[in-house]
A and B are shown apart, each in its own frame.
Chain A
Amino acid sequence: MSPTFGAGLWVGDVSLRAASASISRLYFHHGTIGACQYCWWGRYDMGAPYYGAIFATAAMAGGARIAAIDSGSGAYAVYAIYSSAGKPMRVALYNSDYYAGSGTRGSQSFVLTGLTNTIVTAKRLTAASALSRVDQGSSPTWGGQSYAGGTCVATGSATLETTTVSSGKATFTLEASEALLVYL
């Protein structure tokens, strides 16, 4: 379980949920590099959990407050991150439906309302499935990029998605086992 993309999605979600619950810091336990499945990187490869960490970091960077918008009873998560002036900066979306790599991959629409922008950009965290493992040749991507083993250097073209806001409303579609960071 630990080196999979699903564990990476958990890292992202639990970090944002903990911050929303007024928990000040999370120390992700690491073990001996090379013998540690839940570590964020190994001797040769990045680990899928790293991608969840970078998602949560990107969501909260420079923010002053975070709020969990969803009740927590369902499979879909929404977090709003606010500046010190109380302005919404970003919204993190997560579709935790499990996709193991076979059959039809479901999706869920998230609708944000009350937006003042005309377009918004977003960065997607995805992988072939929740079971994707970097050491088995299937790396997640964050905004189209992955991180090279041994160096952590971002590789591939960075991709920002743009979504048109209509009457203050924008719709985002997340496939099962995906997360999206919307920049307001």
Chain B
Amino acid sequence: MGKTSIIEACNSLSNPPTWGAAELIAAQNSTALSYVKDFSHHNYPGGTVQSLMSHSNVASNMATFSSDVAAALNIGRQYVFGEINSGMYSVISIFPSKNKKESQF
């Protein structure tokens, strides 16, 4: 193939520090890491409208990623959220919506 820096590496099923860039970096040798362009995680905070939009919750949610971001930057890789949104798509039917116009979404 002859190309390095092509993979966005992500293990997203648990939040850092259980799973994340730091764990991947520790587990891979330099040959494997040379193919990694950046590290990614997923972030779906969920909850209620009130808890979601709370700034202190946003800040503490982001703080759970800070050491993982630092681990990626420390080896010269960017960190991204490869998926982020308010709630889980798979449980979207639980969201309060009895409105007959819901189909518009």
A contact set with B: CB distance below 8 Å: 1-4, 6-7, 9-11, 13-14, 17-18, 21-31, 34-39, 42-45, 47, 49, 68, 70-77, 94, 96, 98, 100, 130-131, 133, 135-136, 177
B contact set with A: CB distance below 8 Å: 38, 43-45, 47-50, 52-56, 58-63, 65-66, 69, 73, 78-87, 89, 92, 95-97, 99, 101-105
Could you say which residues of chain B place their CB within 8 Å of the CB of A70? 55, 59
Contact B105 A177 (CB under 8 A): no
User: In the complex, which of the residues A14, A100, A131 has the most CB atoms of chain B within 10 Å of its own CB atom?
Assistant: A14
A–B Cβ pairs within 8 angstroms, 22 of them: A1-B95, A3-B95, A3-B105, A6-B49, A6-B50, A7-B86, A9-B53, A13-B55, A17-B62, A25-B81, A27-B81, A27-B83, A29-B83, A31-B89, A36-B89, A38-B85, A38-B86, A72-B62, A75-B54, A94-B55, A96-B54, A136-B101
Contact of B78 among A10, A14, A21, A24 (CB under 8 A): A24
Contact A44 B59 (CB under 8 A): no
A76 to B59, CA, bound (A): 11
Contact of A131 among B49, B61, B99 (CB under 8 A): B49
A34 to B82, CA, bound (A): 23
Cβ-closest 4 pairs across A and B? A72-B59, A6-B49, A96-B55, A24-B78
With A1-B87, A42-B105, A135-B101 in contact, is A76–B80 under 8 Å at CB?
no
User: In the complex, which of the residues A3, A23, A49 has the most CB atoms of chain B within 10 Å of its own CB atom?
Assistant: A23
- The chain B residue sitting closest to A95, CB to CB, is B55
Contact B105 A1 (CB under 8 A): no
A50 to chain B, nearest CB (A): 12
Contact B55 A26 (CB under 8 A): no
Contact B79 A22 (CB under 8 A): yes
Contact of A98 among B50, B73, B82, B101 (CB under 8 A): B50
A161 to B53, CA, bound (A): 24
Contact of B53 among A10, A27, A37, A68 (CB under 8 A): A10
Could you say which residues of chain B place their CB within 8 Å of the CB of A1? 47-49, 52, 86-87, 95-96
A75 to B59, CA, bound (A): 10
A119 to B52, CA, bound (A): 34
Contact A177 B84 (CB under 8 A): no
Contact of A24 among B38, B45, B53 (CB under 8 A): B38
